Homo-oligomer: A and B are copies of this chain.
Amino acid sequence: MKHPENDKAYKGLVVNNGVENLPQVNPFATFRRKKVLLPAEEYVEGILKGDITKLSQAVTLVESNLPSDQIVAQKVIELCLPYAGNSIRLGITGVPGAGKSTFIEALGTELCHANKKLAVLAIDPSSERSKGSILGDKTRMNELSTTQNAFIRPSPSAGSLGGVARKTRETIILCEAAGYDTIIVETVGVGQSETAAHSMVDFFLLLQVTGTGDELQGIKRGIMEMADGIAINKCDGSNVEKAQAAKVSFKNALALFPPTESGWKPYAETCSAKDKTGILNVWKMVEDYIAFTKANGFFDYRRNQQAKYWMYETINSSLLNGFYQNPEMEQLIQTYEQQVLNNKISSFIAAHQLIDAYTKNIK
């Protein structure tokens, strides 16, 4: 296996404008890279002009794990930062089958007709583009993907949640600098990607379907309390009555919830992404929320908290990875964990002995 840095194909540097078709950058694989690395300023210049090709290329750098790409990517982000922030960031989650793609297609088409510039991103740590998972298959968003004003980008490919989320958050900055005024971040409704998405959007929408009996089957506990609003999709055909009953149920349930930090009272709307009905009611909910939180200051407060959150989150995972990914610690951690599970040693004594081993002998 050759390192790509030493690969002649890598150094050959052929320009390829079909950026989306580039292979995933994997520093441990031999691959042919068909793109020159431009100076950061050139990407930024293109991005600020709204050049989709340059934007795509820069996002590819953000997603790359190659150190040389990352240096340019970080520079691009830094230069874009002053132009970022002027968008509505909308997170959308829901279990597979809730109709997220159809909903985003319907909502996105409406927004583009209203002259908004829309970027659709995703967080799915389990995704591999080739496997047609979340947003991976653009054909699921036929209409939207051919719309001039829409920029659709699949989830950064498989990796740690932290890594995937960081890439998505940085991509938001680039999209905003490129003039996209509405950013949708889609997640899969399972695992921890919701927390990550929630921590980078202004409004977090839970997309529900009804008619299955167990209304929230499959949605992780805690997600409902994270939602700023609920859209009950598939309110069409024989399902209308059930969807409207679900709306009432959710209304009652949400009223029992403790008040939100923003002061906003989350509620539910019905819609049918298939029939394109009710979509604008959902969007009105988002706009009302934005107006409400801009008026009471929570909008900026949340954005600031999120920026802080990501700084500390990155510091913390870096500190913890140093310990857990240290090859000399791995076996020792397993040994102690077994002793804790067998009640041979208290959790706290085990922890302190492991930390001692780390600081004294290894670090």
Spell out A's residues near B (CB within 8 Å).
74, 77-78, 81-82, 84-85, 166, 169-170, 173, 214-225, 249-250, 252-253, 256-260, 304, 307-316, 318-320, 322-323, 336-337, 340-341, 343-352, 354-355, 363
State the oligomeric state as a number of copies: 2
Query: In the bound complex, do residue A225 and residue B215 qualify as a contact, i.e. CB atoms below 8 Å apart?
Result: no
Instruction: List, in ascending order, chain B residues with CB within 8 A of A355's CB.
Output: 315, 318-319
In the complex, which residue of chain B has the Cβ closest to the Cβ of A250? Answer: B256
A352-B214 contact, Cβ under 8 Å, with A224-B257, A249-B252: no
Known: A215-B256, A253-B256, A319-B319. A307 touches B74 (CB 8 A): no
Q: How far is the CB of A323 from chain B (nearest CB, A)?
A: 6
Q: Which of B215, B222, B348 is close to A74, meaning CB atoms less than 8 Å apart?
A: B348
Question: A170 → chain B, closest Cβ, in Å?
Answer: 7
Shortest 10 CB-CB distances between A and B: which pairs? A314-B351, A310-B347, A311-B347, A253-B253, A216-B258, A315-B351, A221-B225, A253-B256, A221-B258, A318-B355
Partner pick for A78 among B258, B313, B340, B345, CB 8 A cutoff: B345
Is the CB–CB distance between A350 and B225 below 8 Å? no
A224-B257, A311-B337, A315-B351 known; 4 other A-B pairs, CB under 8 Å?
A: A78-B349, A170-B346, A220-B258, A307-B347
Complex interface: chain B residues within 8 A of A215 (CB): 256
B311 touches A351 (CB 8 A): yes
Complex interface: chain B residues within 8 A of A346 (CB) = 74, 77-78, 81, 170, 173
Given known A253-B252, A308-B340, A311-B336, contact A74–B258 (CB-CB < 8 A): no
A17–B300 CA distance with the chains assembled, in angstroms: 57
In whole Å, how far is A188's beta carbon from the nearest beta carbon of chain B? Answer: 15
> Least Cβ distance of A68 to chain B in Å?
16
Give Cα distance in the complex from A352 to B313, angstroms. 11
Using CB atoms, name the residue of chain B closest to A214.
B259
Q: How far is the CA of A218 from the CA of B316 in the complex (A)?
A: 30
Inter-chain contact B314/A85, CB cutoff 8 Å: no
CB distance from A148 to the nearest CB of B (A): 29
Q: Which of chain B's residues have a CB closer than 8 A to the CB of A354?
A: 311, 315
Which residues on the B side are within 8 Å of A77 (C-beta)? 346, 348-349
A–B complex contacts, Cβ < 8 Å, 15 sampled: A74-B348, A78-B346, A81-B343, A82-B343, A217-B259, A224-B257, A225-B225, A252-B252, A307-B340, A308-B340, A310-B347, A311-B347, A313-B347, A315-B351, A319-B355
Question: What residues of B have a CB within 8 angstroms of the CB of A340 in the complex?
Answer: 307-308, 311
Q: Are B311 and A217 in contact (CB under 8 A)?
A: no
Q: How far is the CA of A74 from the CA of B345 in the complex (A)?
A: 10
Residues of B within 8 A of A84 (CB): 343
Contact A218–B258 (Cβ < 8 Å): yes
CB distance from A298 to the nearest CB of B (A): 15
Chain B min CB distance to A2 (Å):
28
Interchain CB contact under 8 A, A341 and B304: yes
The complex places the Cα of A340 from the Cα of B85 at a distance, in Å, of: 13
Complex: chain B residue closest to A95, CB-CB = B258
Q: How far is the CB of A355 from chain B (nearest CB, A)?
A: 5
B220 contacts A222, C-beta separation under 8 Å: no
Query: Would you give the shortest CB distance from A241 to chain B, in whole angstroms?
Result: 18
> Is A318's CB under 8 angstroms from B351's CB?
yes
Contact check, A343 vs B256: say whether CB atoms are below 8 A apart: no
